[in-house]
């Protein structure tokens, strides 16, 4: 019996999604609850599990194509656990097209790549078809290394990055030179190709929210610098004991989360929200931590961070980072948040002006630690210094409050014992 594979509900108000990577191809066996395909929305990536044991009999929507919630994107031929071989697959809509592994990649309604392996080649995985279609590489020229000689994404990437002569038949044995003035330039050096790639729903939503912040808030950024000596010495002294006791490393982020909690209590305007004609103040701190995920930047939220200790913060952030890399962060973990911390220093950023995440009123930007000469007690010494930035909504937060907030952060980090004593 053919079972319909439908786009599931992925969140409130979300009606359109993009099909991500198919983890199973036509003819592959699947077990009940095994992931079949990734579904990408503007907020998160979810996986569609197989409703029962069976065999994928048809794929109607390929990677990169748009679909709506409830739409049929494929068929699964159910197989009972007692059956040793799958039943014959009935002809389902577009099944003959799916059986021939005719993979198309679309931008809107325009087909920009259509690939079909030759009869002697293994099947082309959807992710590989997308890479080959974008690069214009014939799939029959690529040998597969996957099970059953399937052409995987890694095979496609290697083929695309290889010299053109190894993947695409040359028009002639020698490239024809192009004359520019008195200098002959090889035609291979004058390539000006373009590759349209469909923007993912998450990237599109990120773009919309960043523009929304610029248009609806009165953004301003203030800066300060922090001497990281005390925190670095504290981490060095207790790092082994911390790992032994809590099973996680003691990082810098837990210090800044705790410092932000204290600063938000001291300057509640930064933790507030503008709801015309009101300003809504909060007695709790739900702090979002910007994390680079597999599909783009995500901001999972530490709920009630004011109640969390250092170990709980580090464990939560480590868990978020690991799951974000695998697109496993849940939708509800990305919603809400009263304040955000973004650490561009892990990528080497020295200074930046972060953009707030609406409807929040502030975001703290952390940057790379660099040894610099500074004046201490009338003497020039070399210290590990970090620039910090606070972008804020000037409709709620005045310059005095913004500077006070950053000054509080600086005091807490430069004397971390105050974080333990909450003073």
The CATH class given to the 201-421 domain equals: alpha beta
Q: pLDDT confidence of 179, banded at 50, 70, 90? A: low
Is the pLDDT at 408 greater than 70? The verdict is yes
Q: For the chain, give the mean pLDDT.
A: 81
Span 147-154, average pLDDT? 73
Which residue would you say has higher pLDDT here, 255 or 105?
255
Active-site residue list:
394, 398
Indicate the domain borders of the chain: 2-167, 201-421
Looking at 2.40.50.100, 3.40.50.1700, 3.30.70.270, 3.40.1190.20, the CATH number of the domain 2-167 comes to 2.40.50.100
Q: pLDDT confidence of 88, banded at 50, 70, 90? A: very low
Q: Alpha-carbon distance 250 to 372, whole Å?
A: 24
Is the pLDDT at 193 greater than 80? The verdict is yes
- Closest to 139 in 3D by CA, of 148, 155, 171: 155
**Per-residue pLDDT, 348:** 92
3-class DSSP state for residue 94? Answer: coil
Is the pLDDT at 248 greater than 80? The verdict is yes
Q: Alpha-carbon distance 105 to 114, whole Å?
A: 7
pLDDT, one tens digit per residue, over 103-138 is 343 433 333 333 444 444 567 776 677 677 667 677
In this predicted structure, which of 120-129, 214-223, 264-273, 385-394 has the lowest mean pLDDT? 120-129
Structure tokens at 300: 């999972």
**Per-residue pLDDT, 116:** 43
Q: pLDDT confidence of 171, banded at 50, 70, 90? A: very low
Dump strand ranges (E) for 41-127: 45-49, 54-59, 66-68, 72-78, 103-107, 110-115
**Per-residue pLDDT, 332:** 85
- Closest to 289 in 3D by CA, of 253, 328, 249: 253
Cβ neighbour number for residue 296 with a 10 Å cutoff: 16
Span 258-284, average pLDDT? 95
**Per-residue pLDDT, 103:** 39
């Amino acid at each position: 019996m053919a079972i319909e594979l439908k786009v599931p509900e992925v969140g409130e108000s979300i009606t359109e999604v993009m099909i991500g990577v198919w983890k199973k191809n036509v003819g592959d066996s699947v077990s009940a609850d095994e992931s079949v395909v990734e579904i990408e929305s503007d907020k998160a990536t979810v996986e569609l599990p197989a409703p029962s044991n069976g065999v994928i009999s048809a794929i109607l929507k390929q990677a990169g194509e748009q679909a709506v919630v409830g739409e049929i994107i494929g068929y699964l031929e159910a197989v009972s656990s007692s059956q040793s071989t799958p039943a014959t697959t009935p002809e389902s809509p577009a099944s003959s097209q799916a059986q021939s592994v005719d993979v198309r990649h679309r931008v809107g309604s325009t087909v920009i790549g259509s690939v079909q392996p030759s009869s002697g080649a293994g099947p082309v995985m959807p992710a590989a078809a997308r890479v080959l279609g974008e690069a214009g590489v014939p799939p029959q020229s690529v040998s597969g290394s996957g099970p059953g000689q399937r052409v995987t994404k890694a095979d496609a990437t290697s083929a695309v990055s290889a010299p053109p002569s190894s993947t695409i038949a040359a028009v002639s044995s020698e490239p024809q030179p192009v004359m520019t003035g008195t200098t002959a330039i090889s035609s291979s050096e004058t390539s000006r190709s373009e590759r349209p790639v469909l923007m993912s729903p998450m990237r599109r939503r990120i773009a919309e929210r960043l523009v929304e912040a610029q248009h609806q808030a009165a953004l301003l950024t203030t800066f300060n610098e922090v001497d990281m000596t005390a925190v670095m010495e504290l981490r060095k002294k207790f790092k082994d004991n911390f790992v032994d006791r809590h099973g996680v490393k003691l990082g810098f982020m837990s210090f800044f989360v705790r410092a932000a909690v204290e600063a938000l209590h001291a300057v509640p305007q930064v933790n507030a929200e503008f709801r015309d004609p009101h300003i809504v103040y909060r007695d709790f701190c739900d702090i979002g931590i910007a994390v680079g995920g597999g599909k783009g930047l995500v901001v999972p939220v530490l709920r009630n961070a004011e109640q969390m200790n250092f170990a709980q913060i580090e464990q939560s952030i480590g868990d978020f980072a690991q799951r974000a890399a695998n697109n496993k962060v849940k939708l509800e973990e990305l919603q809400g948040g009263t304040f955000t911390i973004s650490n561009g220093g892990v990528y080497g950023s020295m200074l930046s002006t972060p953009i707030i995440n609406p409807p929040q009123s502030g975001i703290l930007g952390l940057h790379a630690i660099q040894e610099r000469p500074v004046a201490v007690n009338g003497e020039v010494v070399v210290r590990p210094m970090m620039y910090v930035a606070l972008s804020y909504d000037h409709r709620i937060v005045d310059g005095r409050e913004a500077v006070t907030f950053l000054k509080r952060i600086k005091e807490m980090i430069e004397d971390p014992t105050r974080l333990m004593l909450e003073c």
